[in-house]
Structure 1
């Protein structure tokens, strides 16, 4: 049965005749091949598959079928302010959200941002998104965040955080612990839970209490690490020496660290979520993939926040390739050498956008198209675009040529959530109304002058470079010590 309509839920689906990037261990690429989905699983991959009766056929000829992409770090609650901070530095971001205005977000504002961001992810072929939700001032905010995620047919992980309070305080709140225990189960395997907080490097290590709660509840921890002016090697050392740096730990950015920290991360099995668009623009540090590759550390990709940047991993892949290759060429030029073969290839960043995210989340059932895996599948095909052909290097096509408008079909858990370039079941006018209400609330709460000034906010009287976290008095100028070269430690490149 072939149809141009969105397939009925519960019916098998086969994507016919595409170029299939399986992203299996061998990175097998199949041409003129099919992917059969039955229930929530991939049933078969190969040419001219026999399929059950009443299977819906989707024509994938001329297109690329690949695993759903995975974003391991996105502040979804900020999406209602899309592009507001386009010209911010990281310091201005700290000023706006951490010091001045983050507290004015109500639960309904968290809901509005999450709902918009969740649909945005699916539209771009991102089937799993980690909601790095550090605006959860109350459990009501958290309930609103999860309600929004569960209203959208994607796969999400709520990384629970609160930048307005110390992690040792909010993790001790019985209401928070009850929420975490209740929300981490069920949801048809479409909702996961992490804890999200940063480690300042305070020698007293007050964050220990939060790590202990995470361990007690069996929850992974994700943390901004190696961020200029905020976190550094001291935090990595404290986590490692106290046994809290584990394979489940996801370190975001990790861009201003020394060899000692990268060695500790590699030894622990922790992974790094690289947000290249963010690191290039905001100033966390030079995107670290060139160092991370040297130490064999696992990498996933992320977009950080739409208050600044785009919300799709096509941008993440191409900016990551650009940053890594730029560093490689420039460092060679400093030594009077010429790079003749780049180390980072398109195939590798496609892996990071799929398998890398699955590894970071401990989800062996995601990230590749193999029988028995969860059916999170993306078809990239756009017959109306001259950029869609010729299809010569499928990894290069995904990493450098494709964009969200080329995402033809998306399946999550076997359910078609985007078909023929249109989201299925998305009431975007209602989403727009909620977002507009949030914007109106923020503008009225701040006042028009403060709202306009916030697009390029000045600095407050207190110093924010030593400590943007207002829940602690600890300060350390080591978060902005001079680097040995423009790229970090001398000779640290590959």
Structure 2
């Protein structure tokens, strides 16, 4: 049965169309799950659910292109981690303890968390899929939540040349990868001259599946990986390079020339140590940008924080570089309007969904967010709408969220979310981890020691290769 028509009435509408049209006092009409009209004084069909958007901002649903949903059950656990400690905990020591039900619990909680913050499309960079049963649990969880999700299949406990060519992976693809969920393959390229990752790329090419990869991550992936991908013809317009923070100009040229995009996780890059958020480099090379929040093990699970952090990081660097030259920046290059675009259209372009979501235009799927909070003194006046979204708004201001025309949040509350069950399932995961690791190891894990024999150059347990450094 088609969803009830919805009309957002008298809001400040950020269409995020090609012209970035802004319409004050405008309406957005949703019929049969799609944007039917955008304009002033629209006529509502009989039976329409009218939502008063006055004093609020109506915008497209935000799109996160890189989020490890399975780790949400450990929210805040690694607040003081470095990237090396993250690798030790998840890649080398304790990540293997996650059962299929733990993947399911984290995915459900993280998926609802995304919708609560107005993120209507999320790439689940799911590199905890140790078995096909883990993958089924991840997919089941995403399908149980009424958002738009892309399952990026990965397994940090095994080389991509192994899991991608396994019968279990093939069976999963045949059973699940052509359904309602989008699908990607998620793996990293270490730079090993033997290029063992080639086998996984060949599978992706055969299946017609995009690849998403952590690139330019200090101490893990580097220019050699980009070069190998390029020399073997595996860099494509659908490839998403996550972080891309410590690459040379040569690598950025290769990404630009092959039409790929970069998912910037500024909070992560600033705090964990992948490298400085590369937005100024990406602009210089004309590389498309999307935003992501990475993992709730450390950071906030919303793109308001991502936009804010990205503006701060880019502008800080611009000012400091000018100061080194004894100059003063009088006009910043990165503007709030651009990061709002990255949080919406940037994600839709990266995922090949630009004609589907990312903007409020007739015919597009109705993924719509209303920012409105009559109980907050921060929601008025709205003078610069892009600045308001990027610097003033937060998840508590997300009044209403639609996905495919279906209301999934209304009046500041999620619709249909069984948070009591989600809480119970996550508590079971935490109890399982504490029992398996032991209370002392669990507590120590918030600031784990670094086993020098295992990490510093190569955190991947599935290969012994080290670079010349």
TM-score, normalising length: structure 1: 0.94
Counterpart in 1 of 2:66? Answer: 73
Shift of 1:395: 0.2
Q: Is the 8 A contact 1:466 1:477 kept in 2?
A: no
Give structure 1 stretches of 5+ with no counterpart: 1-7, 479-494
1:113-132 equivalence runs, <5 A: 113-132=106-125
1:344-383 equivalence runs, <5 A: 344-364=334-354, 365-383=356-374
Counterpart in 1 of 2:172? Answer: 179
Aligned partner of 2:77 among 71, 74, 84: 84
- Following the alignment from structure 1 to structure 2, what is the Cα–Cα distance between the partners of residues 332 and 181? 54
Shift of 1:182: 2.2
Counterpart in 1 of 2:394? Answer: 403
- Following the alignment from structure 1 to structure 2, what is the Cα–Cα distance between the partners of residues 105 and 438? 8
Offset from partner CA, 1:439-476 (integer Å, 9 cap, x none)? 00000000011000000000114141211011111111
Counterpart in 2 of 1:270? Answer: 260
Aligned partner of 1:195 among 178, 185, 192: 185
- Following the alignment from structure 1 to structure 2, what is the Cα–Cα distance between the partners of residues 60 and 160? 38
Aligned partner of 2:210 among 220, 224, 234: 220
1:427-446 equivalence runs, <5 A: 427-446=418-437
Task: Give the length in aligned residue pairs.
Answer: 468
Q: Secondary structure at the match of 2:250?
A: helix
Q: Is the 8 A contact 2:302 2:395 kept in 1?
A: yes
- Following the alignment from structure 2 to structure 1, what is the Cα–Cα distance between the partners of residues 362 and 439? 55
Q: Secondary structure at the match of 2:275?
A: coil
Structure 1 runs, 4 residues or longer, greater than 4 Å off: none
- Following the alignment from structure 1 to structure 2, what is the Cα–Cα distance between the partners of residues 235 and 53? 57
Aligned partner of 2:417 among 415, 419, 426: 426
Counterpart in 2 of 1:483? Answer: none
- Following the alignment from structure 2 to structure 1, what is the Cα–Cα distance between the partners of residues 456 and 467? 9
1:201-350 equivalence runs, <5 A: 201-350=191-340
Q: Secondary structure at the match of 2:94?
A: helix
Matched, 1:58 2:58: no
Q: Is the 8 A contact 2:66 2:123 kept in 1?
A: yes
- Following the alignment from structure 2 to structure 1, what is the Cα–Cα distance between the partners of residues 179 and 277? 37
Counterpart in 1 of 2:449? Answer: 458
Q: Secondary structure at the match of 1:142?
A: helix
- Following the alignment from structure 2 to structure 1, what is the Cα–Cα distance between the partners of residues 283 and 175? 38
Shift of 1:216: 0.7
Q: Is the 8 A contact 1:321 1:346 kept in 2?
A: yes
TM-score, normalising length: structure 2: 0.99
Q: Is the 8 A contact 1:9 1:416 kept in 2?
A: no
Give structure 2 stretches of 5+ with no counterpart: none
Counterpart in 2 of 1:37? Answer: 30
Shift of 1:186: 2.9
Q: Is the 8 A contact 2:2 2:32 kept in 1?
A: no
Matched, 1:12 2:15: no
Offset from partner CA, 1:359-412 (integer Å, 9 cap, x none)? 000002110000001110000000000000001000000000000000000000
Q: Secondary structure at the match of 1:435?
A: helix
Aligned partner of 1:469 among 444, 448, 460: 460
Question: CA 1:45–1:443 in structure 2 vs 1: closer, same or farther (change >3 Å)?
Answer: same
- Following the alignment from structure 1 to structure 2, what is the Cα–Cα distance between the partners of residues 340 and 429? 51
Shift of 1:477: 4.4
Counterpart in 2 of 1:487? Answer: none
- Following the alignment from structure 1 to structure 2, what is the Cα–Cα distance between the partners of residues 101 and 417? 34
Shift of 1:175: 1.6
- Following the alignment from structure 1 to structure 2, what is the Cα–Cα distance between the partners of residues 9 and 310? 34
- Following the alignment from structure 2 to structure 1, what is the Cα–Cα distance between the partners of residues 412 and 194? 52
Counterpart in 1 of 2:15? Answer: 22
- Following the alignment from structure 2 to structure 1, what is the Cα–Cα distance between the partners of residues 32 and 299? 35
- Following the alignment from structure 1 to structure 2, what is the Cα–Cα distance between the partners of residues 348 and 416? 28
Q: Secondary structure at the match of 1:228?
A: coil
- Following the alignment from structure 1 to structure 2, what is the Cα–Cα distance between the partners of residues 375 and 426? 20
Offset from partner CA, 1:411-441 (integer Å, 9 cap, x none)? 0011000000000000101100000000000
- Following the alignment from structure 1 to structure 2, what is the Cα–Cα distance between the partners of residues 56 and 337? 55
Q: Is the 8 A contact 1:181 1:217 kept in 2?
A: no
Q: Is the 8 A contact 1:129 1:155 kept in 2?
A: yes
- Following the alignment from structure 1 to structure 2, what is the Cα–Cα distance between the partners of residues 34 and 63? 12
Offset from partner CA, 1:251-309 (integer Å, 9 cap, x none)? 00000001000011000100000000000000000000011110000000000000000
Counterpart in 2 of 1:145? Answer: 138
- Following the alignment from structure 1 to structure 2, what is the Cα–Cα distance between the partners of residues 74 and 9? 30
